[in-house]
Chains A and B, each alone.
Chain A
Amino acid sequence: MKVKWSSFGLGAVATLVVGALVAAGVVRPWESGAPGLEKGPLVIISGKDQSNGGQRQELVNQWNKTHPDHPARIEELALGADDQYSEMVARAQGPARKPDIYNLDAAWTAEFAERDYIAELDEPAADTSGFMANPLRTCWHEGKLWALPFNTDAGLLYHRHPDVKAPSTWKDIVNETRRLMGGPHDSRLVAGYTAQLADYEGLVVNGFEAIWDEGGEVVDENGKVVIDSPQARAGLLRLADGLRSDANPRVIMQEARDQDETASMNAFAEGKVAFMRNWPVAYRNLDSLTSDDANQTAFFKVVPLPGPSVLGGQNLAVSSKSERPRAARALIEFLTGPRSQQILFERGGFAATRDVVYEDAEVRHRRPYAEALRDTINRAKLRPVSPCYVRFAEAFRAVVNETLNAGGKLPSNATERLTAALNC
């Protein structure tokens, strides 16, 4: 082999220089955008922004001002969770260009991870410090981090004030209902309590919460369905008993079985019940009934639920097919950062996923329920983390409905049906 060593040497030196230039190209010091981020537009696919004043869009506008090479836009989907899920899954499966970021219901994160619709986040590089533990837990699946928590949610117990004592247990609610209904009372009052027991995800949430409050469980930590236990039965029985038309006093208003968040809030606002389980968003709506502008004393107060709440909320995840994964991740970090979280909670009413926000004096002033909400979030529990969650929830609703129709008697095949659904 005859080699011209002079030109080989020159070539080797030049290779080193080219390598250095390539490295420089990765850093791209001449670019105006953030280092290492792919240029081009970013698309976030998300349910409708229900915050006061569209705070999510406001944050995206801020990002676009500081990142002109990585402009982001939110593609909003319908309000209903089922509609959002269907469109997101269809996009993930289809051959067209995928969104860069999914804003996922916390209960769907495992499924999207399992099906490779979203990309794992590099956990050591992702700064997860400062997030509340519970919302962050919904972002993990099989020991890997898949998302960061955008906003969280937990149920609160609303009670009329000052005529009604703040309850701390379900028994308190029953006793106070007995006292109120037993004496002279407003003719509008028809029952003690209402919640979201119509046939949708609200029924799943309230079913879980009733069972948990009695010390029961639906799916244990090993993924086994354990609904057929005395505690779980007691939880569902208390709903069925409360709904009985011949109950004295009538603890749960019968119309609750047709009520969603809005309908139950209206019933509470109109004085038909003394207590209501609802999400924090109801606070803003009920508050506006007191006054549009002035800070008048509201006719109600909130306390944590007697038992654990279901943890709601949404997580931001990078699409596994995103052409700009680093930029997408940077946007997620911006949207879940402490400042963004403060804006979303303080101005928009979205419960923050970072602890520090709840300490802020202005937040506490504008969101008087902040402390109760933080307690509830910290005590909240997750719905079963499973790639088959959506099917499981459908089956659970059917089981709860049948139990309520049968006066609290759990269907004999409940465990079998739920197990089949949990395994898709």
Chain B
Amino acid sequence: MINGVLIAVGTIIVAVVTDPPEGVVSWIIFVVGALLLAVVGAGLVEVITAFLLDLPHERIIAVAIVVTLACGAAFVLVPGIPRIRLGGCDPPAQVRVLTTPELLAPYRALAGRFEDAEAERDGSCRPADVHVFALPAKRAMAGLGAEWSAEYLEDGPRPDIWLPENGMHVETVKNSKEMTGFGPVMDVTPSLGSSPIVLAVPAHTGIKLTDEAWQGQTWRTLVDKLRAAGVGLARPVTSTVGELATVAIYGSEDGRVQLRQNPAWAQGFEAWVDSSTKSGQYPSGADVDALLRKQRELGTAGAALVLAEPDLIRYNQSVRDRSGRGCDVPNGPPACMRALYPSDTYSFDRPLALLTWSEAPRSASQRDAAVAFRTWLTSAAGAEAAVLQRLRPPPGTPLQEPVSMANGVVPGGPPNYVSGQASPGPGVAEEMTGIKDTVRRTGRVVVSLDASGSMRQRVGGETRYSLAVKAILAEQDNLAKRAQVSLHVFSATLGVLPVDKDSIGRVRPVGNTPQHRAILDGARAAGQDGVLVLLTDGSNNVDDVSPQQLADLAGARVLVLAFGEASCGTQVLIDVTGHSGGSCRQVGVTTLQADLAELLRSV
């Protein structure tokens, strides 16, 4: 009987701990069942005991020991036995790699080379499938610091490897993890090779690649010489290259100490860059690709640009004609640019961080594949493949095409001319960016929000309009520190209506979309040195302002946040943002706040 009681008690404990009954009825049934189990158990134990007493005990014990040992051996040894493939390949292990838009194309190509190399080694099976995707550096760092929460999964997969442009970004995430405890564990390879940020001067200026009067000078000297020569300067504001160049230029020749006391030099510099940007109609706040597209359009009328060396090579390759003439010769393609290497410039030192997430562990094969990719990137084969993608390898790997004089760069440039560190020291970037934000205060900013009928469309529990209002209100205080801010809403029913931060949330979106009218009135209200920020979910469907009237618009910069059915590819938005030196950002409704903050960085 004692056996039956033990069985019943054991069963009850397990049941209550793992799946307790719910409700009175189920408890009654449960207790009755337990009692019956005790009785059944007692009966069965007696039957089994009586049966076993008649069996040959020694044989049974011997068989049991052999079976147990065999099972143990199998448990230990089987994982180590290679799997036999019957005519197919195991699925390749998935590796997710995060980088920045500027490095997306080269790293994709490198991932493809790695997959081919691994397949060749493994006898045509591909052991790894490397997916490379890109996010702007700021967004990537925020996602890593937030454990790649649901918000960031909507931007891209949770990365196994992070390939940022500069070690400064890795340090930022490390520091954030130390302070907050959030973020992945990072196993960092400090550099896969270092490509400097260069001053790209148009070939028509006559400056040669070997001109010692220009090469190896400080950023400040180069800026002064450019101004004296009447050559303008444009830079990609919202990218890492723009940020690092600004920090380098401000900090050049002890500028850090100087600007702390008097930011007048920075003010003059920014005004000069602004006038260059406007006269060349370069899109302000644009990324590198947009800047280079404009440069190509401008041809010999282009200004000097701040670029990472691989982007300059890519650009020159695209403008070199079929005759094969290089950018280093006097009769080379007129749209070519040539690299000047400032002595105190920073570089893309391309660190690699292998990430481990406590909440989302990897399988052994995924981990092995990620490590294999890292090993390949740091190998001689990876370094040689990087050169083909215009990236400088670590010292010791010979340089070859396309890193050549014919493509407007000096293969021995960095060791000969650059003497500074790859990254700014701790706190320098923040301090210099703060000075830039102070000196770039804008006169007046008009934020104009689409209040047409389509803004009533719901996304989750809220309307597009209410999400946009939230985004505006969240950014308004920050913006007000830098400029005088006015708010407008527009629809065919409301017209273009000034509102304030209390009334904007009470507006009911209705009617068609007088987008052209909103741009015209908003830009006029912002004035000559002002900025119009337009948030819209559609296209113009009210014909009261012609595209020509918008083309004639002068003065304010126009920045556009396009979401929903709106598109930055609309001709009018391309024209008006390009013409005014503004920019357009295509975004999703759910990330409006982060995207508006990003757009307003250039204000």
Chain A interfacial positions (CB closer than 8 Å to B): 1-4, 7-12, 14-15, 17-18, 21, 24, 30-31, 48, 52-54, 57, 75-80, 82-83, 85-87, 89-90, 93-96, 115, 262-263, 265-266, 269-270, 284-285, 288-294, 424
Contact = CB atoms under 8 A, between A and B. Distances in A.
Contacts of B158: 87, 90
Given A53-B458, A289-B541, 9 more contacts: A8-B43, A11-B39, A11-B41, A76-B150, A87-B153, A93-B93, A95-B362, A291-B512, A292-B541
Nearest to A262: B567
Interface stretch (B21-29, B75-83, B208-216, B307-315): B21-29
A83 B541 contact: no
Nearest to A90: B94
Name the 7 nearest CB pairs between A and B, nearest first.
A11-B43, A87-B157, A292-B453, A86-B131, A14-B40, A293-B453, A90-B94
B39 A79 contact: no
27 contacts: A1-B51, A8-B43, A8-B46, A11-B39, A11-B40, A11-B41, A12-B43, A14-B37, A18-B37, A24-B29, A54-B460, A57-B460, A75-B153, A78-B133, A78-B153, A78-B156, A83-B133, A83-B157, A90-B157, A94-B360, A96-B359, A266-B569, A289-B538, A290-B541, A292-B541, A293-B453, A294-B512
A423 to B, nearest CB: 9
B453 to A, nearest CB: 4
Contacts of A86: 94, 96, 129, 131, 133, 157
Given A1-B53, A263-B569, A83 B156 contact: yes
Contacts of B154: 48, 76-78
Nearest to A267: B569
Contacts of A294: 512
B454 interface: yes
Contacts, number: 166
A87 B96 contact: yes
B238 to A, nearest CB: 20
B96 A75 contact: no
Interface in B70-93: 89, 91, 93
Given A93-B94, A292-B541, A8 B361 contact: no
A288 B563 CA distance: 13
A262 B569 contact: yes
B131 to A, nearest CB: 4
A11 B131 contact: no
A31 B511 CA distance: 50
Interface in B273-322: none
A77 B453 contact: no
Interface of B: 22-23, 25-26, 29, 32-33, 36-37, 39-44, 46-47, 50-51, 53-54, 89, 91, 93-94, 96, 125-126, 129, 131, 133, 150, 153-158, 160, 359-363, 365-366, 452-454, 457-460, 491-492, 510-513, 538-539, 541, 565, 567, 569-571, 588
B56 to A, nearest CB: 15
B459 A18 contact: no
A316 B61 CA distance: 51
A223 B96 CA distance: 30
B43 A7 contact: yes
A53 B457 contact: yes
Contacts of A80: 133
A115 B288 CA distance: 41
Given A1-B50, A95-B363, A266-B569, A11 B42 contact: yes
Given A10-B43, A95-B361, A83 B131 contact: yes
A289 B53 CA distance: 89
B565 A285 contact: yes
Nearest to B52: A1
Indicate the member of A54, A86, A285, A291 with the most B CB atoms within 10 Å: A86
A100 B275 CA distance: 57
A75 B94 contact: no
Contacts of B363: 93-95
Given A262-B567, A289-B541, A3 B50 contact: yes
B43 A93 contact: no
A293 B25 CA distance: 57
A8 B36 contact: no
A96 B148 CA distance: 15
Given A54-B459, A89-B129, A270-B571, A18 B43 contact: no
A297 B301 CA distance: 46
Contacts of A48: 154, 588
A140 B25 CA distance: 44
A104 B567 CA distance: 27
A87 to B, nearest CB: 4
